[in-house]
Amino acid sequence: MDSTIAFALLLSALAGLATTLGSLLGLLFRDPGPRLMTLTLGFSAGVMILVSFVELLQGGIETIGFFNAHLAFFGGMIVMFLIDVLIPHDFIAEHHDPLADEQKNGELLKAGLFVALGLGIHNFPEGMASFAGALEDPNLGIAIATAIAVHNIPEGLAVSAPVFAATGSRKKAFWWSFLSGVSEPVGAALAALILMPFLNDTLLGYVLAFVAGIMIFISFDELLPVSRSFGLEHLSIVGVVGGMMIMAASLWMLG
C-alpha cells in the first residue's frame, strides 16, 4: 500500500476513535464542563472553517475552476443536509438536562443507541474528509483530522453518558461509543477503494471542494450552535478565532 494512502487511513482512524476519549470523559466525569466544551467546539469550528475556505475550496478552484469547485462545494453541503434531516442525531449539550428529562432506563438506553447510530452515519463523510485532505497534503490531513477529533470527543460523551446511566455498564457504554467512531475510518477506506483507481488532479479537485462543503456544514450546523448552547457566547467566538489563528499560523509555517 502506498505510504500516503496508509497515512491518510491512519489519520482517519485516529480522528474517528477520538469518540472513545469522549466516552472515557463521560464515564469518569459525566460532564467535562461548559467552559471547556464551549472553547474546544468553537476552536474545532474555527479550524474547519479556515481550512475549508483557504485550502480545500481554493485547491478545488485552482484545479477545476470557480464554477465546478463551487458546484462540488454546495453539493457537499446538500449531502450533509440530507443526512442530517433523514438521520437526525443529538449532542447531550443540545438539551438542558437530558438525563433528568428521561424517566426510564429503557428510554435512556434507546436514546444512547440512536445517538450512536446517527453519529456513526454522520462520521462516514468525515472519514472521507480527513482522507482527502491527507492525499492533497499530509500536513493538511493532520489539521483536518485534529479538528474532527476535537469535534468527536463530545460525540463520544453523547453516546456513553445515557448508555452508562441506563445500564450501569462502563463496558457497554464504551463499546457503543467506540462503534460510532469506527465508521469514520470505514468511510475513509471506502473512499480509498472507490476513488483511488480513478484518482487524478481533476477528481481530487472535486473531492477537495466537496469535502470543504461537508466541513462548513458541520461547523455552522453543529459545532457553533452546540458551542454557543452553553450560554458562553464570547468564549465560543474566542475559540473560533483562536482555531483560525492557530490554523493560519500553522499553514504559514508549513509553507
The confidence band for 23, taking pLDDT boundaries of 50, 70 and 90, is: confident
pLDDT tens digits along 81-111: 888 787 655 554 444 444 444 444 555 555 5
Burial class from Cβ neighbours inside 10 Å (0-12, 13-18, 19+) for residue 33 reads exposed
Mean pLDDT of the chain: 76
pLDDT digits (tens, 9 = 90+) for 123-132: 677 777 778 8
- Specify the pLDDT at position 20: 79
Most confident of the following: 169-178, 202-211, 234-243:
234-243
Given a cut of 80, whether residue 75 has pLDDT beyond it is yes
Res. 15 pLDDT band, cuts 50 70 90:
confident
Q: Stretch 19-23: mean pLDDT, rounded? A: 77
Q: Which residues of 150-164 are buried (b: 16+ CB within 10 A; e: fewer)?
A: bbbbbbbbbbbbbbb
Give the number of residues written for the chain.
255
Is the separation of the CB atoms in 179 and 115 below 8 Å? no
In this predicted structure, the answer to whether residue 56 has a pLDDT above a threshold of 90 is no
Cβ-based neighbours of 68, under 8 Å, separated by 6 or more:
60, 205, 206, 209
User: Looking at 9-23, 24-38, 85-99, which range is the least confident one?
Assistant: 85-99
- pLDDT confidence of 62, banded at 50, 70, 90? very high
Which pLDDT score is estimated for 107? Answer: 53
What is the predicted pLDDT for the residue at 159?
Answer: 67
Residues in CB range of 121: below 8 A, 6 or more apart: 83, 87, 183
Per-residue pLDDT of 144-181, as tens digits, reads 888 778 767 766 766 676 677 667 777 877 887 777 77
Q: Domain limits of the chain?
A: 3-253
CA distance 129 to 120: 15
- The conformation of residue 91, written as its DSSP 8-state character, comes to -
The larger pLDDT score, comparing residue 1 to residue 44, is at 44
Higher model confidence: residue 252 or residue 59? 59
Predicted local distance difference test score (pLDDT) of residue 117: 58
**Greater model confidence, 119 or 213:** 213
Residues 131-145: what's their mean pLDDT?
A: 81
